[in-house]
């Protein structure tokens, strides 16, 4: 085969999720060029980038409307100068999670379930992220620490469910994920593994045949909670991933964060939940944003959020209305608002 033919074949092949992950957009100038936006009309904060760099996967950026500073997807990734605003009550660790961290990578806050930080990083940096100040390196378990986490779970018969979180738990390879799932399946009292992930939305290529196979073959009940905030985040590739997962019996749920000027209006939330349901995903939580330093420009008041939920109740069947919640340190579960 000539080199010419080889390179043709290469460029014909769709990029794998790992290739997409190693080619994220991290330079704001590049993002602006792709989106045909003039930087002078919306300056970005270099300081914000130092603290929490820009990270955007290309398949997600393709869904952003060109030339529109108000695009709801762009707003979620753009390092705004407002991140430097210091507001009383907005702090680095509002949930005081360090207090519930018995082992590296393991949070045990609620009865019956533990949360494992399966991967130290995400495929995207969401500017409103409540874990943006979280020390992932300190919470990125080594093999030995994994063994300790499994032993901790096995020793507490009240734990029935393991929640894989992150970072993004699907940022690990299929091989590592399969290993993790098998280790969990060997803990007798566990019935359920739940995966909290944004990867099926931002890089839908992550839903590989191998991943679907390992989920299909596990003895455990599997729940996937994706994180989608706006109907515009759904495209054909994302929808195909949802279908592949629900076809093998994975229970598909969505959680969103209510975000000012992204989805804090009834039409956006109605469209989102209807669209998700058409593709086998039910709403789970609508989170109030936590009061994390640097995210105040996304903050929505309880009163506004409560009114939105009332409008949703008046417009949708009950099963399409997400539960509006907030996390309060010290509570035995998420707190319902409205």
Ligand X SMILES: *Cc1c(COP(=O)(O)O)cnc(C)c1O
163 touches, from ligand SF4, ligand X, none (C-beta below 5 to 8 Å by class) = ligand X
By C-beta, is 163 or 300 nearer to ligand X? 163
Residue 109 structure tokens: 């806050």
- SS3 letters across 171-184: HCCHHHHHHHHHHH
| 125 scored as a contact of ligand SF4 (CB under 6 A) | yes
Residue 49 structure tokens: 């980038």
Distance CA 115, CA 108 (A): 6
131 touches, from ligand X, ligand SF4, none (C-beta below 5 to 8 Å by class) = ligand SF4
By C-beta, is 76 or 190 nearer to ligand SF4? 76
| Among the listed residues 334, 228, 313, the one whose alpha carbon sits nearest the alpha carbon of residue 266 | 313
Q: Which residues bind ligand X (CB under 6 A)?
A: 107, 109-110, 113, 115, 163, 333-334
| Distance in Å, CB of 278 to ligand X, minimum | 24
By C-beta, is 208 or 295 nearer to ligand X? 295
By C-beta, is 57 or 283 nearer to ligand SF4? 57
Q: Which of 21, 24, 115, 122 binds ligand SF4 (CB under 6 A)?
A: 122
Interface residues for ligand SF4 in 196-225 (CB under 6 A)?
Answer: 198
Strand partners, 224: 195, 252
**Applying CB under 6 A, which part among 26-34, 92-100, 119-127, 329-337 lies near ligand SF4?**
119-127
DSSP state of 299: -
Q: Which of 161, 168, 233, 244 binds ligand SF4 (CB under 6 A)?
A: 168
Count the helix, strand and coil residues of the chain and give each as a percent rounded to the nearest 5. Answer: 45, 15, 40
**Applying CB under 6 A, which part among 120-128, 240-248, 289-297, 300-308 lies near ligand SF4?**
120-128
| Distance in Å, CB of 31 to ligand SF4, minimum | 16
| Distance in Å, CB of 115 to ligand X, minimum | 4
By C-beta, is 291 or 311 nearer to ligand X? 291
**Where do runs of H (alpha helix) occur along the chain?**
3-12, 17-21, 28-35, 46-51, 58-61, 72-77, 143-154, 174-185, 199-202, 209-217, 236-247, 266-278, 302-315
Distance CA 57, CA 205 (A): 11
């Amino acid at each position: 085969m000539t080199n010419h033919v080889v390179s043709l074949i290469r460029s014909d092949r769709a990029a794998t999720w790992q290739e997409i992950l190693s080619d994220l957009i991290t330079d704001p100038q590049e993002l602006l060029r792709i989106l045909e936006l003039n930087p002078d009309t919306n300056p970005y904060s270099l300081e914000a980038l130092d603290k929490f760099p820009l990270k955007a996967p290309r398949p997600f950026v393709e869904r952003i409307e060109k030339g529109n500073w108000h695009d709801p997807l762009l707003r979620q990734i753009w390092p705004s100068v407002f991140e430097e605003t210091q507001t009383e009550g907005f702090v680095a660790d509002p949930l005081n999670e360090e207090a519930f961290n018995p082992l590296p990578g393991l949070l045990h806050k609620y009865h019956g379930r533990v949360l494992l930080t399966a991967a130290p990083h995400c495929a995207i940096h969401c500017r409103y992220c409540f874990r943006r100040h979280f020390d992932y390196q300190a919470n990125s378990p080594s093999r030995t620490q994994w063994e300790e986490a499994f032993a901790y779970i096995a020793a507490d018969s009240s734990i029935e469910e393991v929640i894989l979180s992150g970072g993004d738990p699907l940022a690990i390879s299929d091989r590592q994920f399969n290993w993790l799932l098998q280790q969990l399946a060997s803990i007798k009292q566990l019935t359920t593994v739940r995966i909290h992930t944004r990867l099926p939305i931002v890089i839908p290529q992550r839903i590989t045949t191998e991943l679907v196979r390992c989920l299909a073959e596990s003895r455990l009940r599997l729940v996937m909670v994706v994180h989608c905030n706006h109907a515009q985040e759904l495209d054909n590739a994302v929808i195909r991933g949802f279908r592949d997962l629900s076809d093998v019996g994975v229970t598909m749920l969505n959680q969103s964060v209510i975000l000012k000027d992204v989805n804090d209006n009834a039409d956006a939330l109605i469209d989102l939940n209807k669209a998700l349901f058409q593709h086998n995903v039910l709403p789970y939580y609508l989170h109030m944003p936590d009061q994390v330093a640097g995210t105040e420009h996304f903050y929505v008041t309880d009163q506004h959020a409560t009114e939105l939920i009332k409008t949703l109740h008046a417009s949708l069947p009950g099963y399409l209305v997400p539960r509006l919640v907030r996390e309060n340190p010290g509570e035995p579960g998420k707190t319902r608002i409205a």
